[in-house]
A and B are shown apart, each in its own frame.
Chain A
Amino acid sequence: MTDLSARNSLLARRRAAEARFRRYGAAALALTTLFLAFLLWDVAAKGWPAFLEHRVALPVAIDPARAAAGDFDGLVKDAILAQFPEAQSRSQRKAVLALFSRDGETQVARQLAADPGLSGKTITADLLLSDTADLHLKGIAPLADATAITALTEKLPVTRAFAWRFFSNGDSREAEQAGLRGALIGSLLTVAVALGLGLVFGVAAAVYLEEFAPKNRFTDFIEVNINNLAAVPSIIFGLLGLAMFLNVFGLPRSSPLVGGLVLSLLVLPTIIIAARAALKAVPPSIKEAALGVGASEQQAVFHHVLPLALPGILTGAILGMARAFGETAPLLMIGMVAFIADVPRGITEAATVLPVQIYLWSDLPELAFRSKTAAAILVLIAVLFAANALAIYLRNRFERRW
């Protein structure tokens, strides 16, 4: 009797232990998933306001004499102040002007250049509001003194629209003007260089190691090297780029060329390992059949094995590129962190890349840059997501089971 009840309590304990263990596992996965969800939600909540901007249609009277003298800045300022006759003191006028971004000048100049006949008439300029006014209207950071902005919304129609300039402008010191175009083009150039070099060297190395290399100590040495390289911290590659590519070879600092070179070395192990796996997956009978009808070793590999392994290699290459696209640390070392307002036009010009832009903006004190940083992160994650989706699609579309 007692024996049985003791056994029953033991069973109950073991059952409870089983349930507890299972719950720990489920909790670990739930926590990890929650972390990812919260991270994405947090960034999205911080970032989405930066995709919107506020603009005001302002009538600007063009005084021919001042237009001829090129005083567009003064014309726009007078047009703004004309709407606020009650702003008389210096500080009041300053508060009013602080509501607007500094792009009215170029807009008016462009309109006049397109149609000189407008001189002497009144034109409409679509003025962008400044970052502080914008944040006030979005309700993120209310202005301490809201009299000027309230007066503005009462007097002129303020429109809220999608901020295309976030994608079409380069970086800027003015938060409301800052955009990602320079960083996106820089990333594109850098990743193109990295992809080109990484793919060529990586696939060649994989073909050699998988298909031609003799089994000897040197081949072993190369393999150990590749595996170690895959685990070297990325910042060390930045040191290599700084000491070798910049100081020894004298390549241009901050350029996508050097960034791409460094990243190609960084993703080389990834590509080699993926390409080798893809080559290994091609059944040996294919190669043997080619050899059997008289193809040379290299003809068999390059005409038959490699084309069949290509989808797998491409999938690996895309994943390697996704890694290169999100990499920041080594690019800090080679000077891609400078403030660059211009959009790079070649791989030897100074540029920055998207992740570095995120790092730079995250360091700025203005509140508007905080939401710009989060918005840039959303763009980065969207690109990575697309790259991964493409890799999965390629894998499913072209994968062959032998």
Chain B
Amino acid sequence: MTTATRTGFAASTRSTAGRRRFEGVVRIILLACSGVAVATTLGILASVLFESVVFFREVSPLAFLFGTQWSPTGSPPAFGLVPLLAGTLLITLIALATATPLGLFSAIYLSEYASPRLRRVLKPVLEMLAGVPTVVLGFFAALTVAPFIRQAGTAIGLDVASESALAAGLVMGMMIVPLISSLSDDIINAVPQSLRDGSLAMGATPSETVKRVVLPAALPGIASAIILAISRAIGETMIVVMAAGLAANLTFNPLAAVSTITVQIATLLVGDQEFDSAKTLAAFALGLVLFFFTLALNIAALRLVRKYRQHYD
């Protein structure tokens, strides 16, 4: 034991220079590994930009951004983004209208009212919902929710498309509930207890405390959670691929079928691809739009939190 320690020590002093060189190499390798994230971002930018530039040589950017007709397989093909943006916006709005009240009220109840035991049961339920793969939610939206809405609509005399925006939006909203509730829960919990105690001591009820003290203090964080939820909804693919339509109708009727940016990317690129056709390249232009939308939303969410974060001691 002693000899081993001694020789080990001797070896380590002898090779200090070697060890230092070795550690320098290791450090560079580690730095390179953290560079993978940067390389991925650059790779994404390069791949969507490169193909988009080729696309915009064939289709003018103005016709793409302001065109009101999208039919990539028509003759002549039309690549107008507006109907897709409208469809994406419609489904996102339905999803948010579902998820914001549900998620926010869940978070308030969990952090302000629920007993620790109830919390222990309900938190995993929300986590489970967050972990359900989107392809499963898409199947549920297409085969259970959409037919149900269609039947319910027919029963009260409404004409509902079989791939209605409402079905996709509702299920997408349920997908986002855990995101909003867990982010809001963290933020509400970060509001110091002394603020609540002060309000309660002045005679406010718990709900008045939540509405007038806790929520205003947590507002920037909650707003950024909702922005992240929007970004998530815009980028969600499988639910809309399976439950929303392919035909890009320019409408804001939630009972009609609309198409989204992600649906079009998926359908344009599944199957045979020819990299010289505008049809395939259009998917990359849509990818560029999607990337910048989500990037802008993420940055906005981050800024919002940084700028308006309240500092408590």
Residues of A within 8 A of B115 (CB): none
Residues of B within 8 A of A233 (CB): 231-232, 234-237, 262, 290-291, 294
Residues of B within 8 A of A243 (CB): 46-48, 50-51, 284
Per-residue contact bits, chain A 201-243, to B (CB 8 Å; 1 contact, 0 not): 1001101110011000000011001111101111111111011
**B20 nearest CB across to chain A (Å):** 8
Residue B113 interfacial (CB < 8 Å):
yes
Which of A28, A205, A355 lies in contact with B102, CB distance below 8 A? Answer: A28
Q: Are B133 and A380 in contact (CB under 8 A)?
A: yes
Per-residue contact bits, chain A 139-155, to B (CB 8 Å; 1 contact, 0 not): 00000000000000000
How many of chain A's residues have a CB under 8 angstroms from any CB in B? 79
**A47 nearest CB across to chain B (Å):** 10
Residue A329 interfacial (CB < 8 Å):
yes
Residues of B within 8 A of A242 (CB): 47, 269, 273
Residue A343 interfacial (CB < 8 Å):
no
Residue B252 interfacial (CB < 8 Å):
no
Name 26 A/B residue pairs within 8 A (Cβ), A-sorted.
A18-B208, A21-B207, A25-B106, A32-B126, A32-B129, A32-B181, A204-B33, A208-B27, A225-B37, A225-B38, A229-B40, A231-B294, A232-B44, A234-B237, A236-B294, A237-B44, A239-B44, A240-B43, A272-B37, A296-B20, A326-B131, A328-B237, A332-B266, A355-B133, A362-B138, A388-B127
Which of B30, B105, B125, B231 lies in contact with A212, CB distance below 8 A? Answer: B30
**B172 nearest CB across to chain A (Å):** 12
Residues of B within 8 A of A377 (CB): 135-136, 139
Given contacts A204-B29, A233-B290, A358-B135, contact A298 B23 (CB under 8 A): yes
Residues of B within 8 A of A208 (CB): 27, 30-31, 33-34
Residue A43 interfacial (CB < 8 Å):
yes
A43 CA to B136 CA, complexed, in Å: 9
Residue of A nearest to B41 (CB): A225
Q: Are B109 and A28 in contact (CB under 8 A)?
A: yes
Q: Are B40 and A240 in contact (CB under 8 A)?
A: yes
Q: Are A322 and B131 in contact (CB under 8 A)?
A: yes
Residue of A nearest to B141 (CB): A39
Given contacts A22-B109, A243-B47, contact A222 B37 (CB under 8 A): yes
Interface SS, B side? helix
Q: Are A239 and B135 in contact (CB under 8 A)?
A: no
A200 CA to B20 CA, complexed, in Å: 23
**A344 nearest CB across to chain B (Å):** 20
- Chain A residues at the B interface, C-beta cutoff of 8 Å: 14-15, 17-18, 21-22, 24-29, 31-33, 35-36, 39, 42-43, 46, 200-201, 204-205, 207-209, 212-213, 221-222, 225-229, 231-240, 242-244, 247, 265, 268-269, 272, 296-298, 322, 326-329, 332-333, 337, 355-356, 358-359, 362, 370, 373-374, 377, 380-381, 384, 388
Which of A39, A359, A388 lies in contact with B140, CB distance below 8 A? Answer: A39
Residue among B110, B238, B242 with max Cβ neighbours from chain A (10 Å): B238
Which of B20, B102, B140 lies in contact with A42, CB distance below 8 A? Answer: B140
Residue B17 interfacial (CB < 8 Å):
no
Which of A24, A207, A269, A370 lies in contact with B30, CB distance below 8 A? Answer: A207
A15 CA to B40 CA, complexed, in Å: 55
Q: Are A14 and B41 in contact (CB under 8 A)?
A: no
**B209 nearest CB across to chain A (Å):** 10
Residue of B nearest to A326 (CB): B133
Q: Are A296 and B19 in contact (CB under 8 A)?
A: yes
A244 CA to B207 CA, complexed, in Å: 53
9 further interface pairs, Cβ-Cβ under 8 Å (given A21-B207, A205-B33, A212-B27): A25-B112, A33-B122, A36-B129, A42-B144, A201-B33, A228-B299, A236-B287, A240-B44, A297-B23
A212 CA to B241 CA, complexed, in Å: 44
A232 CA to B23 CA, complexed, in Å: 34
Residue B128 interfacial (CB < 8 Å):
yes
Residues of A within 8 A of B290 (CB): 233, 235-236
Given contacts A32-B177, A362-B242, contact A235 B266 (CB under 8 A): yes
Residue of B nearest to A243 (CB): B47
**B86 nearest CB across to chain A (Å):** 19
Residues of B within 8 A of A247 (CB): 275
Q: Are B34 and A380 in contact (CB under 8 A)?
A: no
**B83 nearest CB across to chain A (Å):** 19
Residue B85 interfacial (CB < 8 Å):
no
A189 CA to B230 CA, complexed, in Å: 33
Residues of B within 8 A of A296 (CB): 19-20, 23
Residues of A within 8 A of B137 (CB): 39
Residue B216 interfacial (CB < 8 Å):
no
A326 CA to B142 CA, complexed, in Å: 18
Residues of A within 8 A of B33 (CB): 200-201, 204-205, 208
A229 CA to B235 CA, complexed, in Å: 13
**B192 nearest CB across to chain A (Å):** 21
Q: Are A329 and B210 in contact (CB under 8 A)?
A: no
Residue among B135, B174, B206 with max Cβ neighbours from chain A (10 Å): B135
Q: Are B238 and A222 in contact (CB under 8 A)?
A: no
Residue among A32, A222, A269 with max Cβ neighbours from chain B (10 Å): A32
Q: Are B105 and A27 in contact (CB under 8 A)?
A: yes
A42 CA to B36 CA, complexed, in Å: 42
Residues of B within 8 A of A388 (CB): 127-128, 131
Residues of A within 8 A of B235 (CB): 232-236
Q: Are A28 and B131 in contact (CB under 8 A)?
A: no
Q: Give me the 7 closest cross-chain CB pairs, A-B, nearest first.
A: A233-B235, A25-B109, A326-B133, A243-B47, A204-B33, A28-B105, A21-B207
